[in-house]
Amino acid sequence: MARALPAAPKQPGEAGPGSGLSLLAGSEPAPPGADHEPAGRSCRACFGSDFGLRLRQGAGLVKTKRPSHAPISRSGRFVSGPSEAVARFTESVSFDRRLWAQDIQGSLAHAAMLHKVGLLTRAEYRDIRAGLEAIAGEIRSGHFVWKPELEDVHMNIEAELTRRIPAGAKLHTGRSRNDQVAVDLRLWVRDEIDGLLEDIRTLMRALVRLAGRSTEIWIPGYTHLQRAQPVSAAHHLLAYVEMLERDRSRFRDCRRRLNECPLGSGALAGSTLPLDRAFVARQLGFVDERGRPRVTRNSMDAVSDRDFVVEFCAHAALLAVHLSRLAEDLILWNSAEFGFIRIGDAFTTGSSLMPQKKNPDVAELVRGKAGRVIGNLTALLVLLKGLPLTYNRDLQEDKERLFDTADTVRACTRVLAQMLDEVEFQPDRCAAAVADPNLLATDLVDALVRRGVPFRQAHHLVGAAVARAEQLGCPLPQLPREEWKRIWPEFDPSLLEVFDLARAMERRTLPGSPGPGQVNRELKLWQRRLA
């Protein structure tokens, strides 16, 4: 969810705002005389009047001979507008309008700062704030008309504001679209991380619930997709909880690093105006754990930095890999060859030809979508690798990759959480699979080691016994005693007690092992942590 949209501090005796787009707590008071015309009015008035006229021309307030398809960002430097082909090719509002809430949030904070430092009168600030809040309401309700000829989300909002309110021409004072989009992206990624952290938490809870229903279910654990040793189904599921917790930790680290405010960096070299970057940082929540403002420290880096986008997409790619691995286990377990689980009808599909089919398409799509998330990360890295400092238009291409990554991993995380509540283990099939005595061959090696046999010798002896049992077509525990004696003359039949599965699992008491005691402790730990 987007943070509350900030506003400037109230003047003495000024009524509080009635809109939901309210001030963040702890705003600083405006300087004395801020409700009067700012100092140096004559010089700034000339610039503001000229710039405002051009902006209102672009917004349609003043008739002009400006060529069609000429965005207001072209200013007086150009004698003609871009061709229709260029306008279509370069527009980004078709996708970057997803940043509208963050753009207005940043603009409200910027306007509040301009008012605080005396670059906006109180009346101008009030008009700008009311106009931005009205536009936000229209966008939220779906009534705002986006214009591709205005290029992007920033110019669409600013042009509409200026069409309605002449003071809107002053909103861009001390700001470039370079630092504007940088702050929008940071706010957007920060919001997405907050939402994704909760989505992952919900999935972890679903895994813990399924594990809690499956503590008495034993299944083979696999290496190389070959049966290896017995584990509990709960222990297997909790392995994914551990992966997801690492994912959460990485996203929290990413959030901490990106939480610096780039506004005030301008196009690349800051501004000569008396901007208050710390004020804006506090307004937008760019603060440390002690509430101190955090601002970027190099204007060139600030406007060209997309490390936080790459980092988010890298962490998302690893999350997608974890989700894909979980999906693959569910797909295998759901197959007729395994038969360990059944997935509810609501999360499976059928065949257009074969009436008996019940396919795990949801899990298959989660597995498949990992590829596009990894591809988005690769695209971003290639996009950035050759860019000189500072901003380059190439960076327009970061947003679709970012948006798609966030949408994809959040959708996969949510649907898996819902599906897991419709998954049930099949005790009989699991018991039949885990009854394979070869799963406990390593336990027999351990028993020999406890009797003083060197590990490598014990490993060789048990391997020979397994091979001989396969030759004779009998289970390992039923290998005739004389065969055991040929392999190891000191064989003692009491060694075969290791093939009691329940007792074998009880012996697994090391921290992190799949023994019942350890698994129950881990379950309780995660239930407490995720409550």
Between residues 323 and 18, the one the model is more confident about: 323
- Residue 510, domain CATH: 1.10.40.30
pLDDT-based confidence at residue 483 (cuts at 50, 70, 90): very high
DSSP states of 16-62 as a string?
Answer: PP-SSSPPPTTPPPPPTTTTSPPTTHHHHHHHHHHHHHHHHHHHTSS
Which has the minimum average pLDDT: 61-65, 305-309, 328-332, 350-354? 61-65
Most confident of 63-67, 82-86, 259-263: 259-263
Residue 220 has phi, psi (to 5 degrees) of: -70, 140
Whether 269 and 373 share a structural domain: yes
Whether 454 and 310 share a structural domain: no
Contacts (Cβ under 8 Å, ≥6 apart) of 464: 487
Nearest CA-CA partner of 165 in 201, 133, 127, 138 = 127
Whether 201 and 301 share a structural domain: yes
Please tell me the predicted confidence (pLDDT) of residue 70: 55
Report the share of the chain in percent with pLDDT over 70.
Answer: 86
Q: Strand, helix or coil at 100?
A: helix
Nearest CA-CA partner of 196 in 345, 477, 413 = 413
- Looking at the predicted structure, is the pLDDT value of residue 29 above 80? no
Give residue for tokens 């551990």. 242
Whether 270 and 384 share a structural domain: yes
The token duo for 58 is: 């672009």
Whether 322 and 384 share a structural domain: yes
Contact between residue 448 and residue 497 where contact means Cβ atoms under 8 Å apart: no
- Looking at the predicted structure, is the pLDDT value of residue 34 above 50? no
Whether 327 and 190 share a structural domain: yes
- The number of folded domains in the chain is 3
Please tell me the predicted confidence (pLDDT) of residue 49: 38
Whether 204 and 306 share a structural domain: yes
pLDDT-based confidence at residue 140 (cuts at 50, 70, 90): very high
Residue type, 168: G
Cα(337)–Cα(493) distance, integer angstroms: 34
Please tell me the predicted confidence (pLDDT) of residue 194: 98
Nearest CA-CA partner of 313 in 251, 230, 236, 266 = 251
Could you say which DSSP state residue 356 is in? T
pLDDT-based confidence at residue 21 (cuts at 50, 70, 90): very low
Contact between residue 93 and residue 151 where contact means Cβ atoms under 8 Å apart: yes
Mean pLDDT of the chain: 89
Report the share of the chain in percent with pLDDT over 90.
Answer: 84
Please tell me the predicted confidence (pLDDT) of residue 62: 41
- Looking at the predicted structure, is the pLDDT value of residue 25 above 80? no
> Residue length, the chain?
531
Whether 364 and 506 share a structural domain: no
Per-residue pLDDT averaged across 53-73, rounded? 46
Whether 193 and 320 share a structural domain: yes
Which has the minimum average pLDDT: 1-5, 92-96, 256-260, 426-430? 1-5
Per-residue pLDDT averaged across 383-389, rounded? 97
pLDDT-based confidence at residue 17 (cuts at 50, 70, 90): very low
Cα(438)–Cα(294) distance, integer angstroms: 59
Cα(477)–Cα(394) distance, integer angstroms: 67
Per-residue pLDDT averaged across 19-41, rounded? 36
Residue 261 has phi, psi (to 5 degrees) of: -90, 120
Please tell me the predicted confidence (pLDDT) of residue 73: 67
Whether 216 and 308 share a structural domain: yes
Which has the minimum average pLDDT: 76-80, 284-288, 523-527? 76-80
Which has the minimum average pLDDT: 54-68, 294-308, 339-353, 510-524? 54-68
Nearest CA-CA partner of 438 in 214, 217, 222 = 222
- Looking at the predicted structure, is the pLDDT value of residue 426 above 80? yes
Residue-wise pLDDT for 110-135, tens only, equals 999 999 999 999 999 999 999 999 99
- Looking at the predicted structure, is the pLDDT value of residue 236 above 50? yes
Please tell me the predicted confidence (pLDDT) of residue 76: 77
Between residues 82 and 183, the one the model is more confident about: 183
Residue span of the structural domain in which 333 resides: 178-432
- Residue 138, domain CATH: 1.10.275.10
- Looking at the predicted structure, is the pLDDT value of residue 10 above 60? no
- Looking at the predicted structure, is the pLDDT value of residue 374 above 90? yes
- pTM for this prediction: 0.86
- Looking at the predicted structure, is the pLDDT value of residue 528 above 70? yes
Burial of residue 151 (number of CB atoms within 10 Å: 0-12, 13-18, 19+): buried
Whether 150 and 209 share a structural domain: no
Domain end point (choices 399, 415, 432): 432
Residue 303 has phi, psi (to 5 degrees) of: -85, -15
Residues belonging to the active site? 224, 351
